[in-house]
Amino acid sequence: MSSRSSSRASRSAVREQPSDAGDQLTRTWRAAGLAGIVLLGGLLAGCASTGAVPRPFPVPEDGSEIPRGPIAGDTVAGDALTFQGTPYRAAGADPSGFDCSGLVQYVFARHGIVVPRSVAEQFRIGRDVDADRLEPGDLVFFRINARDVSHVGIAVGGGRFVHAPSARGIVRVSLLAAPYWAKRYAGARRVGGG
C-alpha cells in the first residue's frame, strides 16, 4: 500500500471514529431513556394498584353516610362557603389549597356527586341554565383570557358566587354583576340538583 492510500485510510478511520462514538452515545441515551420510562411506568402502576385513598378525602363531618341521589343546591353552596379564606393553590383540590375546578370537584364530592377535574370538562356536565334562572349550587363559568372557558365558581344566591381565583389568592365570594365577571361570563350548568 502506498503512503498516499495509507494516509487516506488513516483519515477515513479517524472520520469514522467520532461517528461510532456518537452512535454509541446515542444508543446509551436511548437505553437509559427507555429504562427510565419502564421504571416510571412501574412506579405509576404500583401507586395505582395500592388502592390508597387520597387524604383528606371529602366525607361528611358528622360521620353520616354520603347522600345518594339529588342534593339541594343550597346545601352545596353552603358547604362551598365554608371554604372562604382557604388559600389558592395551582392544581389544588383539597382544603390545604384549591384552584377553581378543584374547589368545585371537592365540594360536590363531599355530597356524593362526582364531577370532572378540569373547567372544560365541568362545562360539559349537567344541564344548561339561563343566567336569570341561576340557583344556589349551579356552576358558573367564565372566559378569562381565551375563547374557551377557563374559570368556574359555585352560585350561592343573591347574584353572588364562591370561587378560587388566583388573584388575591384565597377562596372568596364575588358578584356576578361586577364588571370584570359580567364581561367574562360564559354560562352556567346545573349538576346533581333537582
pLDDT at residue 37 in the model: 37
pLDDT at residue 40 in the model: 33
pLDDT at 193 over 90: no
CATH of domain 73-190: 3.90.1720.10
Give DSSP secondary structure letters for 86-101: PBB-TT-EETTEE-HH
Rounded Cα–Cα distance for residues 121 and 54 (Å):
21
Rounded Cα–Cα distance for residues 144 and 160 (Å):
18
pLDDT, tens digit, 9 for 90 and up, residues 92-133: 999 999 999 999 999 999 999 999 999 999 999 999 999 999
pLDDT at 145 over 80: yes
Q: Is 163 a catalytic residue?
A: yes
Active-site residue (options: 80, 100, 103, 152) = 100
pLDDT, tens digit, 9 for 90 and up, residues 18-62: 445 555 544 544 544 444 433 333 333 322 222 333 344 444 444
CB atoms within 10 A of CB 86: 20
Active-site residue (options: 111, 163, 172, 189) = 163
pLDDT at residue 192 in the model: 81
Active-site residue (options: 151, 160, 189, 190) = 151
Domain segments of the chain: what residues?
1-52, 73-190
pLDDT at 66 over 50: no
Candidates 64, 74, 67; CA nearest to 111 is 67
Q: Is 111 a catalytic residue?
A: no
pLDDT at 165 over 90: yes
pLDDT at residue 189 in the model: 98
The answer to whether 162 and 83 have CB atoms below 8 angstroms apart is yes
